[in-house]
Amino acid sequence: MAVNAYRETTEALLLPRIIRLGRNLYGAAFTLMKLVPARHILLKAERDGALGPATTIVETTSGTFGLALAMQAALMKRPLVLVSDPVIDPPLLRRLTDLGARVEICAEPAEVGGFQEARLKRLAEIRAEQPDSFCPEQYENPDNPASYSIVAEHIERTLGSVDCLVGPVGSGGSMCGIARALRSGGRQVHAVGVDSHHSVLFGQPDGHRTLRGLGNSLMPGNLDHRTFDEVHWCTAAEAFGATRLLHSTSALFQGPTSGAAYLAARWWAERTPDAKVLVMLPDEGYRYQETVYDDAWLAAHELTGALPAAPADVADPTVPSDRWSRYAWGRRALAEVRRTAGHAGGAGPFAEGTR
């Protein structure tokens, strides 16, 4: 079989299944959402000549973007070096190495920027050692959000118009790219970003985060804050509980970023019954069978408890909370929100001027 035929593996896994989860709530359930930008960026780099016959692919990651790169690089028969940190889970590490990736672990965080900054420094060192290298740069590369236009087209073919898009935010690529594409031609789509407390993405100070796969310690260039009408933050326990709820009520076996997004989307859909709501569910749950899907592990780490019925509206989004919270962002730049923080609380689901 020709190499091009082998690349059809990732193409077949690219688009999500659109599944009805409630009267007005739909889920876009991905096998691995990060395949969308990883595949797009690598194939474009090959076409443009940035990825030559002997070029090594290098990237920093602790999650599913690394897995997506490893899958595509293996099919393209390209060497891959990934820089990660101790938070990477053993099942993921096994898959990466099985796919042929070399994984370097940064054992200590940087004083400013934590492990993500330490990983970026090591990445720069590797690139200096290997001049013939290519870095996808998922946080800064505009091809990341641009790649999601095919997902928006798939959504429109399947559902037609969508009133509200809900999804987790990490690099900013998926939510900013899909929302931008869905809004093309003047259509109004309410965008709800879901983050974790102690993530810098929407102005909070960096801190320890048990919930991974969303949030960030550094501000990615691909995050356009003006995309978002509102932002929700949730704890690890709430996200894990919502992940299990999604599984028990819909039989969808997804990861904890999906649970975090589902928590916000379910509440939003119930509160706004006339709106068609779509929630992004980024990856499947197999990596989390020994953690999120293990009752004993959850209990041992004190990550259990009843889910709140609704988020707490906050006046200042830059102050971390200890529970699910929400802020009416209003499609504003981060600097503007910081100037007004403490003076405006959460507004209704469709704030004036956003629909």
Per the rule left: phi > 0, alpha: psi between -120 and 50, beta: everything else, 175 is: alpha
In this predicted model, what pLDDT tens digit does every residue of 169-209 receive, in sequence order?
999 999 999 999 999 978 899 999 999 999 999 999 998 89
Bridge-partner residues for 325, per DSSP?
A: 233, 312
Q: How far apart are CA 38 and CA 70, in angstroms?
A: 9
Q: Is 107 exposed, middle or buried (0-12, 13-18, 19+ CB in 10 A)?
A: exposed
> What three-state secondary structure class fits 148?
coil
Q: How far apart are CA 317 and CA 329, in angstroms?
A: 9
What pLDDT, on the 0 to 100 scale, is given for residue 116?
80
Q: What are the 10-residue block averages of pLDDT along the chain, 355 residues in total?
A: 61 95 98 96 96 93 92 94 91 94 92 84 93 94 97 96 97 97 92 97 93 90 98 98 98 98 98 97 94 97 96 95 97 95 48 31
Q: How far apart are CA 108 and CA 72, in angstroms?
A: 29
Q: What are phi and psi of 28, to 5 degrees?
A: -100, 95
What pLDDT, on the 0 to 100 scale, is given for residue 106?
92
Domains and CATH numbers, the chain: 3-32+143-336 (3.40.50.1100), 35-134 (3.40.50.1100)
In whole angstroms, how large is the CA radius of gyration of the chain? 20
In this prediction the pTM is 0.92
Bridge-partner residues for 280, per DSSP?
A: 28
CA 202 to chain CA mean position, Å: 14
Helix (H) or strand (E) holding 20: strand 17-20
In this predicted model, what pLDDT tens digit does every residue of 124-150 receive, in sequence order?
999 999 889 999 999 999 999 999 999
